[in-house]
């Protein structure tokens, strides 16, 4: 065990797997000597060399497109896209190819590719550096989407993502890259994809969230506990495929659900979760399912970005609303 930040845990996971699997290679912009703009790949080029830690030309479509070919050829490429907002240039490769290679080739070829990218806002960065558009990828059949919420989670989920036989978009909440440190197991540490985590148990309301939003959700749960409201907090971890079983089990118990995400409201994953609850747990509900989300606008630039992201007070308000309904 060592106490690590989320970015250090990502670095450790990459190191561990590069060491274990000679077919794994990293590609992306500034991941070599610079160690990545957030330092996720710090020290890796020194250890594994230029052929395995590859600074590419500045081309997201090129990075993801060639990674698909590398993966189909039998390698384990892990691509870094510098910010989620720059993944948009690779949408065609992801949607039209990564997600379809297996089905198009009737299983002859697969695409065991991981695309890692910093995601979400709150770091006072320029335009398009604060995106949380996970729904685009969740909406694409054939892609898996994973979001860690703590350092240990990041290591365990990233190792599983790299070993997964299918393409995984791995979204790293940049706001908490360095905000929290926790004990992370050394060596092998695998957290299976597709399983949510109940972070706090409770009887009165289910808070369903992921990534950086787990933290204000836990804070809200703590404050509600002082008022006698026991909130269950679920960290989804894998957004696609989603662990609906854990959600439904929880909502059947609590009868109330509040979904918290940083992404824009309309057609965010919250909408899908609410639909699943309606389909599978309608008769257990004692209040409408509420969402606490970002607005249906671009994330503002740093001066006013703080207004965009859901905060603890908004979560508390929603919890009070469903409890008092």
Partner 1 sequence: MPKKTLQEFSVESIQILDENGKIDTTLLSQTDQISEKTLKSFYESMVLIRAIDEKALNLQRTGRMGTYASIQGQEAIQVGCAAALQPSDWCFPAFRATGLSVLRGTPIKVIYQYWSGDERGSEMQDGQHDFPISIPVGTHIPHAVGAAWGAKYKKDPIAVLTTFGDGATSKGDFHEGMNFAGVFKLPVVFVCQNNQWAISVPFSRQTAAKTIAQKAIAYGFEGIQVDGNDVLGIYTVTKNALEKARRGEGPTLIECLTYRLNDHTTADDASRYRTEEEVAIWQKKDPVLRLKTLIEKEYEWSESVDEALHAEVDRRVAEAVDAFEAIEPLNPLGMFDMLFETLSPELHDQRKKFTQRLGKLNKEESK
Ligand X SMILES: Cc1ncc(C[n+]2csc(CCOP(=O)(O)OP(=O)(O)O)c2C)c(N)n1
Give the residues lining the site for ligand X (CB under 6 A): 29, 58, 60, 82, 86, 89
DSSP strands (E only) in the chain:
2-5, 24-28, 53-55, 76-80, 114-119, 144-146, 168-173, 181-184, 197-200, 205-209, 231-235, 238-240, 257-264, 290-294
Closest CA to 292 of 306, 279, 309: 309
Which class for 37: exposed (0-12), middle (13-18), buried (19 or more C-beta within 10 A)?
middle
Residue closer to ligand X, measured from CB, 58 or 278: 58
Partner touching 301 among partner 1, ligand X, none, CB below 5 to 8 Å by kind: partner 1
Residue closer to partner 1, measured from CB, 43 or 165: 43
> Choosing from 16, 97, 129, 189, which is the catalytic residue?
129
Residue closer to ligand X, measured from CB, 127 or 188: 127
Smallest separation (angstroms) from ligand X to the CB of 301: 15
Partner touching 190 among ligand X, partner 1, none, CB below 5 to 8 Å by kind: none
129 is catalytic: yes
The residue at minimum Cβ distance from ligand X is: 86
Residue closer to ligand X, measured from CB, 102 or 129: 129
Smallest separation (angstroms) from ligand X to the CB of 31: 11
Closest CA to 211 of 166, 157, 274, 265: 157
Smallest separation (angstroms) from partner 1 to the CB of 53: 12
Secondary structure of residue 133 in the 3-state scheme: coil
Gap between the Cα atoms of 139 and 168, Å rounded:
13
Smallest separation (angstroms) from partner 1 to the CB of 5: 18
Secondary structure of residue 207 in the 3-state scheme: strand
Partner touching 297 among partner 1, ligand X, none, CB below 5 to 8 Å by kind: partner 1
Gap between the Cα atoms of 67 and 167, Å rounded:
10
Partner touching 305 among ligand X, partner 1, none, CB below 5 to 8 Å by kind: partner 1
Sign of CA dihedral 161, 6, 211, 319: positive
Catalytic residues: 129
């Amino acid at each position: 065990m060592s106490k690590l930040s989320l970015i250090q845990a990502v670095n450790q996971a990459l190191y561990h797997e590069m060491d274990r699997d000679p077919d794994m290679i990293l590609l992306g912009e500034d991941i070599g000597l610079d160690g990545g703009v957030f330092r996720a790949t710090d020290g890796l080029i020194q250890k594994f060399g230029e052929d395995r830690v590859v600074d590419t030309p500045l081309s997201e479509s090129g990075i993801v497109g060639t990674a698909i070919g590398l993966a189909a050829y039998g390698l384990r490429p892990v691509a870094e896209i510098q910010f989620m907002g720059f993944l948009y240039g690779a949408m065609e490769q992801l949607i039209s190819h990564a997600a379809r290679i297996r089905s198009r080739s009737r299983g002859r070829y697969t695409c065991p590719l991981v695309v890692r990218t910093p995601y979400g806002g709150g770091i006072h960065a320029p335009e398009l550096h604060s995106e949380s558009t996970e729904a685009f990828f969740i909406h694409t059949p054939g892609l898996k989407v994973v979001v860690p919420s703590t350092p240990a989670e990041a290591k365990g989920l990233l190792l599983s993502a790299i070993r997964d036989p299918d393409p995984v978009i791995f979204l790293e909440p940049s706001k908490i890259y360095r905000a929290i440190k926790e004990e992370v197991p050394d060596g092998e540490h695998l957290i299976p994809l597709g399983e949510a985590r109940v972070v706090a148990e409770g009887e009165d309301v289910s808070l369903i969230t992921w990534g950086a939003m787990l933290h204000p959700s836990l804070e809200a749960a703590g404050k509600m506990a002082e008022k006698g409201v026991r909130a269950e907090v679920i960290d989804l971890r894998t957004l696609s495929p989603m662990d609906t079983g854990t959600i439904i089990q929880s909502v059947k118990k609590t009868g109330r659900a509040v979904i918290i995400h940083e992404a824009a409201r309309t057609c965010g994953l919250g909408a899908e979760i609410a639909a699943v609850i309606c389909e599978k747990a309608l008769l257990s509900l004692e209040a409408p399912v509420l969402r606490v989300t970002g607005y249906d606008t671009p994330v503002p630039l740093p001066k006013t970005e703080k207004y965009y992201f859901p905060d603890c007070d908004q979560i508390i308000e929603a919890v009070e609303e469903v409890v008092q309904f």
